[in-house]
Structure 1
Amino acid sequence: MKKILYIISFLCLGMFSSCEDAIDLQPKDKVDIEGFFNSATANDLQMFSNYFYSNLLSQSMENKPTLLDQDDVKIDQELSAVLKGGTYRTVPSNGGGWSWGVLRRINTLLEYIDRCPDKAAVKQYSGVARFFRAYFYFEKVKRFGDVPWINRQLGSDDPQLYAPRDSRELIMTEMIKDIDFAIEALPVVSAEASAPYRLTKGAALALKSNFCLYEGTFRKYHEISLDGNDWRYYLEQSVDASEKLMSGQYGKYSLVTGSDASQTYMNMFAAQDANKNEYILAVKYDQGMQILHNANAHTVVPTQGQPGYTRKFICSYLMKDGTRFTDIPGWQTMQFVDEVKDRDPRLTQSIRGLNYHRIGSKEILAANILTARTGYHPIKFVGESMMGSINMDKNDMSSNDLPEYRYAEILLNLAEAKAELETLTQTDINRTINELRKRAGMTGMLDMATANANPDPYLDGSISPESGYFNVTGANKGVILEIRRERTIELVQEGRRLNDLFRWKCGKMIDQPMYGQYFPGPGAYDVTGDGVADIYIYAQGTAKPSGPASAQYYEIGKDIFLSNGNSGYLDNHKNQNRQGFNEARDYLYPIPSDDIELNPNLKQNPGWGSSKS
């Protein structure tokens, strides 16, 4: 333990301190960096690498779990700068994701690990380090595009500190080398006692599946052609990684199933412990260790963001039999009780629906418009309100494990990559998309030929610009739209949506209407399906109606806003200044201005200039 503490102290001296100077500053009775690795055990290497998990994984407490993120389907009352766009997005002086300290730690481990006498541990933890280096660079490429490739420790006078950005093709090539090494070096899930909380071959394959899908589709839809590999190569790599993971030869994974499909999806995310069959990699939370997140409070406490799903998203859910909700006459003005009936069962396992009650309680709860401003009240990741004497609804008191990678995502990746490559078959659909639908309890399955013969106009931006995707063409247009529907529904609040829009060149979908439930006018409304009014809406300046104390009462124009004045969709974001997505600028983030001043060889991303915020 002392060695670990000393080595962490050494690393905390920062990225730009030279290794030799830092070691010279250590008291003589402390273990230096070389001495640490000369006698390091497997446990030492594990403890050294723990920092990577807590500081890189997107679902870790330090990184604010992605279930809190906003995009075009899940929004808070105060929209993020990305959703507002325009002048709300500025060039920061520092920070902004342009940080490199974790990479130095990774490269430190790789530089010295061969000194360790335990060669089996050397192999495994070299795999861990190279996994996290690929993970680190995936986050950088998504955010900034071209970035400097650094695969060694840098001293304070190293010329590479002033190097220009490297091509994303070079970065991706090196990432594939790293992740292929990790796939070979890491254990299978059955040999890792701490799975799914520690890295395995399956986790490495999942990362490769993801970043290759991202790169292939980003290049395809943004029409990027670089020296080296093309977009097809990366999609083929994604297919290969997905197929290997699904084969079972690199560890066995499967979808969670249960006797009651109406509860399975919801219960999986609310469970305290990650399901080892479906969760390929997860972040551990624990009440006893006070490692906690904010899932419950975020959705039940009015001061924690007031998140809600958008009506655009709700309308994309199919009927349980696989037919389109948006093909039903009058769907545009359908009220809540009717619009949630007989839908894809994941809908009412993701929002408060008919007869909803919290896990561990029998009290029926209505969607609360003060807590979820669209009226579509999220429940994904929401667990019990009490654990013994612990109030789980207080701020940062949730302790259910969160998924970094799920098997469901790999099925979606395979289907999408093959659809884009035009190699998808109905057999592929049956073992991916239709397996997800079966797990959800749907009776209607996806038929590839039917989807391509009749693409859903609601999902087609050329027909429905207020709800659809742009730029989707070709023989597989219909099935690609269906796969996107499935991906959005299955992975909602798992941190994928915004990057999906960016790689598909659909940033303009951020500008689509952010409406909520439909109300035809002032009146009393049942939203739980028991025939008793839960919500009373009354015209501005009129008397508050009488009703039960347990009901919700809202004055139009004061407590809530409707799209047509006294009727229409909840439009509680109407007064926020949404300036629009900038197609020429907003697919990439700006490099902080201070870093550009320090390194004149860094060039700012298009449209951002170099001014400080």
Structure 2
Amino acid sequence: MKKYILPVALCMLLGFSSCDDSLDLNPKDKVSEADYFKTAEDLELFSNPYYNNMLDKSPYDEDNDYYVQKSLSAEQRGGNYRTIPNSGSGWSWGDLRRINSLLARVDRCPDEAAVIKYTALSRMFRAFFYFEKVKRFGNVPWYDKELGSSDPDLYKTQDSRELVMSNMIDDIDYAIEFLPDRKDEPDAPYRATKWAALALKAQFCLFEGTYRKYHGISLEGRSADEYLQLAADAAKELIEEGPYKLYSTNKPDEDYLNMFAAEDANKDEYILAIRFSFATKLYHNATAASLVASQGRPGFTRKAVNMYLMKDGTRFTDKAGWQEMQFGEEMAGRDPRLAQTVRCPGYHRIGETKVLSPDFGVCTTGYSPVKFVQNPKDANGGVDRVETSTADLPVYRLAEVMLNYAEAKAELGTLTQDDLDMSVNLIRKRAGMPDLNMAAANANPDWYLSSPEYGYTNVTGANKGVILEIRRERSVELMEEGFRWSDVRRWKAGYCYNQSIQGMYFPGPGEYDLSGNGKTDLILYASGSAKPAGGDGVQVYEIGKGDGKMPLSDGNRGYVDFHYDQVRPGFNEQRDYLYPVPSNEIALNPNLIQNPGWGK
């Protein structure tokens, strides 16, 4: 009898002593594998781990050129800080094995509707699984069946990128056709629907189209433009036919912040979300990550802050003296989303009135994250402790789909002002910002966004200006949602990781009011001088390098530079867009080919 490799979880569920002999044994006092997969409940229970295992439950802590922690990641440092691992590093296939196990047995269920539903769900998550693999490794082996222990496909080389992408499209199109079309069900938006499948299709087709365009990849099969068109079509269908709208209570100074801090996912905008709750003891760490010193002291970079326009739609980086503006001035009159993402003057917690200043004890740059920070009264007052946040996290939301649509159309060269008005400008309206005018953007591309010091040097053509502005809007709207690293790689913009990591600007020693309440809350003093008395709630730092000091980029003045001692060899253009295949995997299967630049 042929033996199959089954997920360990199923072996435990069915009471088998080992996976290897699972199909040879039928214990009389246990549920046998042959008796499983026969009801809709069986299929639901077996597929539930798709959500928990594959969806990112901490998108808010992705290290990138906009968001840094005290210790920089290997990706941020580059060079020999990135190495070939022995194992792991994303080269894992257990989730795919679970998917293919269900697909191999789903027809045992006599409930035809359940068979169709869970086939569609499994194929959606197979497309999701492979999207993560393609983003990370490029070419990977495609498996759409269970493998026996002696199956020769266990030892095959990677399949072509085009074969994998084409199979992903087949899977997602099946899911779009057959997944439930619902929004108002009790379990929405925590279960996949056809709309989630459309969002995924728009996402991975945009990734592939832009990756091929900017990396100059031409393969037999679909072109870069064909993938971009698929992305635009999927996004447009969801925008025009889906039951979603942008969340708004017509309070642009609050709506963005409140949506991400809410206990329950907003059913208007969230297409798919991850549920967290105090009652079920399912938590994440977003609030503590921003408030507790032991959680990495994350902060946004000055480059991230510079992305935000002035509230009248003009560019902050066109203002005279923007480079040396102090905190209060640089934060004044900006896109309202800035004060709902970064702790700005006048900031107070949701549900409280006490004004809080930026806290360098929990933030290395001074630009403290506040997005996802919950009301301290939520979840029985426990959200400020480590791993106790309960705000539901988005997987797909309408604003991202709108941005994907606008970008795909802009890259195709078919974008119109009407396209912007049904996408980017609706997002801006929610934020209280003026519309993006396509003709004006293209007539005067932003120097900052196209400069080698701060932006993207490889955007060209008639739509250069509007592409840069859509990227700006994407950066602002999706800040801290886990997209930046993959965006940089698909745009072939790894050089962004070589740009400066800077925090707030300080002109020298002195007393500073960072909270905007007219009172001193930070004192900086010169090295060698006496430490001044700070008083209650006042942070006091000696300017200089070393533990407990405030390092500035130019001696006694400049940008906060807590990363001065972390060597950054830099992004390797010939290597770092893809991750290496772990060495143990190549030892087990010599037919696997290591990615370029990583050696043998």
Same fold judged by TM-score > 0.5? yes
1:29 is aligned to 29
* CA distance in 2 between partners of 1:193 and 1:502 (Å): 38
* CA distance in 1 between partners of 2:254 and 2:411 (Å): 33
1:609 aligned onto 2:596: no
* CA distance in 2 between partners of 1:253 and 1:591 (Å): 40
Among candidates 83, 87, 99, match of residue 94 of structure 1 = 87
Structure 2 counterpart of 1:562, which letter? L
* CA distance in 2 between partners of 1:487 and 1:308 (Å): 19
* CA distance in 1 between partners of 2:531 and 2:382 (Å): 33
CA distance 1:454–1:13, change in 2 (3 Å): farther
2:387 is aligned to 396
Secondary structure of residue in 1 paired with 2:441: helix
Per the TM alignment, residue 110 of structure 1 is displaced from its structure 2 partner at its CA by 0.6
1:62 is aligned to none
1:489 aligned onto 2:476: yes
2:567 is aligned to 577
1:130 is aligned to 123
2:56 is aligned to 58
1:456-500 Cα distance to aligned partner (Å, 9 max, x none) = 00000xxx2210112100000000000000001110111100000
Structure 2 counterpart of 1:9, which letter? M
1:311 is aligned to 302
* CA distance in 2 between partners of 1:324 and 1:88 (Å): 36
Q: Number of residue pairs matched?
A: 591
* CA distance in 2 between partners of 1:154 and 1:138 (Å): 21
1:119-166 Cα distance to aligned partner (Å, 9 max, x none) = 001111111000000000000000000000000000111100001100
* CA distance in 2 between partners of 1:6 and 1:175 (Å): 26
> Does the CA contact (< 8 Å) of 2:307 and 2:475 recur in 1?
no
* CA distance in 2 between partners of 1:529 and 1:26 (Å): 71
> Does the CA contact (< 8 Å) of 2:298 and 2:369 recur in 1?
yes
Per the TM alignment, residue 48 of structure 1 is displaced from its structure 2 partner at its CA by 1.2
1:362 is aligned to 353
1:426 aligned onto 2:417: yes
Question: Please, which moves more after superposition, 601-610 or 171-180?
Answer: 601-610
> Does the CA contact (< 8 Å) of 2:15 and 2:31 recur in 1?
no
1:68 is aligned to 61
1:485-539 Cα distance to aligned partner (Å, 9 max, x none) = 0001110111100000000000110110010111000001111222211111111
* CA distance in 1 between partners of 2:457 and 2:12 (Å): 50
> Does the CA contact (< 8 Å) of 1:106 and 1:129 recur in 2?
yes
Structure 2 stretches lacking a partner, 5+ long: 1-6
1:480 aligned onto 2:467: yes
Structure 1 counterpart of 2:54, which letter? L
1:508 is aligned to 495
* CA distance in 2 between partners of 1:521 and 1:380 (Å): 30
1:528 is aligned to 515
What are the within-5 Å matches in structure 2 for residues 180-191 of structure 1?
180-190=173-183
> Does the CA contact (< 8 Å) of 1:192 and 1:198 recur in 2?
no
Among candidates 588, 592, 595, match of residue 582 of structure 2 = 592
> Does the CA contact (< 8 Å) of 1:308 and 1:374 recur in 2?
yes
Secondary structure of residue in 1 paired with 2:570: coil
Per the TM alignment, residue 546 of structure 1 is displaced from its structure 2 partner at its CA by 2.6
Q: TM-score, normalised by structure 1?
A: 0.94
Per the TM alignment, residue 191 of structure 1 is displaced from its structure 2 partner at its CA by 6.3
Runs of 4+ in 1 over 4 A off after TM superposition: 10-14
Per the TM alignment, residue 548 of structure 1 is displaced from its structure 2 partner at its CA by 2.5
1:7 aligned onto 2:5: no
RMSD in angstroms over aligned alpha carbons?
1.7
* CA distance in 2 between partners of 1:11 and 1:131 (Å): 26
What are the within-5 Å matches in structure 2 for residues 530-545 of structure 1?
530-545=517-532
2:437 is aligned to 447
1:210 is aligned to 203
Structure 2 counterpart of 1:7, which letter? L
Per the TM alignment, residue 13 of structure 1 is displaced from its structure 2 partner at its CA by 8.3
Q: TM-score, normalised by structure 2?
A: 0.96
Among candidates 203, 226, 230, match of residue 233 of structure 1 = 226
1:305-354 Cα distance to aligned partner (Å, 9 max, x none) = 10000001101110011000111111111111011111000000001112
1:424-450 Cα distance to aligned partner (Å, 9 max, x none) = 0011111111111110112x2211001
Per the TM alignment, residue 6 of structure 1 is displaced from its structure 2 partner at its CA by 8.0
Q: Percent identity?
A: 55
Secondary structure of residue in 1 paired with 2:395: strand
1:273-327 Cα distance to aligned partner (Å, 9 max, x none) = 0000100000001112111111111010111010000001101110011000111
Per the TM alignment, residue 389 of structure 1 is displaced from its structure 2 partner at its CA by 4.4
